[in-house]
Amino acid sequence: MARRNKQPIKAALLAALLCLSAAAQPQTITGKVVAVADGDTLTVLDANNRQHKIRLDGIDAPESSQDFGSRAKQSLSDLVFGKTVTVISSKKDRYGRTLGKVTIDGRDINLEQI
């Protein structure tokens, strides 16, 4: 039986593992909150003037048109609008928004919004 060179297979497996581990690494975004869409979604402008749409992980606030939706949006606005936040995230939702934990000076905004 002929021996096959296993180097290409090993290299491909290593490359796949590196890609998977890089994708799972937490991402940190720091910037100013420039918009609040509703009670669980905001927009952060980073130092490179790049906008990031952030959805607070672990929270499902009412939409603006639903009961208490405007109060939820106002609550989040009072907490973060115009302030510098840090977002720690390792995934995106089905709409392409970054899911993350938002903090200001160590305060957990996700928890406060609940």
Per the annotation, the verdict on 63 as an active-site residue is yes
Please tell me which residue in 4, 50, 71, 97 is annotated as part of the active site: 97
From the candidates 3, 4, 55, 94, give the one annotated as an active-site residue.
Answer: 55
Report the C-alpha gap between 29 and 109 in whole angstroms.
15
Yes or no: say if 24 and 18 are a contact pair by the CB < 8 Å rule.
no
Q: Among 63, 94, 107, 112, which one carries the catalytic annotation?
A: 63
* Active-site annotation, residues: 55, 63, 97
